[in-house]
Amino acid sequence: MHLERITVIVEDYDEAIRFFTGPLGFDLVEDSPSLTNDGRPKRWVVVRPPGGQTGILLAQADGPRQAAAVGDQLAGRVGFFLRADDFAAAYQRMTAAGVEFVTPPRAEPYGQVAVFLDIAGNRWDLLGPA
């Protein structure tokens, strides 16, 4: 078994695609028309880091409950972890591209880490080697 994909609820498909494929450098794997369970149009949008196997399904919020979860899917906790072989280069590239880091880089026993926000406001760890 493997983890195939996870979902991130976003406000807008196109803004989310631009964020993940631009500042984060992810690949757009799929962007196809689809339907909700009750037959309304939506899109099936999947991004993933280059060389990665687990994709992120970018799901545009549908209705008030989902809209309320945008940016707070994990109740303010870091819930996503992006590892970079070259932490300094990734941090510099992301900072230059306007990614909001909420903590400065620091050294931990498991390596370097800095917390950033995605397009929806969810917290991610950027991780690098010790």
pLDDT band at 67 (very low <50, low <70, confident <90, very high): very high
- Give the mean model confidence (pLDDT) for residues 74-90: 96
The predicted pLDDT at position 124 comes to 98
Task: Share the mean pLDDT of the chain.
Answer: 96
Q: Which burial class, exposed, middle or buried, applies to 118 when counting CB atoms under 10 A from its CB (0-12, 13-18, 19+)?
A: buried
**All domains of the chain, ordered by start, with CATH?**
5-128 (3.10.180.10)
Please check whether residue 58 is in contact with residue 8, taking contact to mean a CB–CB distance below 8 angstroms: yes
Cβ atoms of residues 10 and 59 within 8 Å: yes
Mean pLDDT of 26-36: 96
CB 78 within 8 A of CB 125: yes
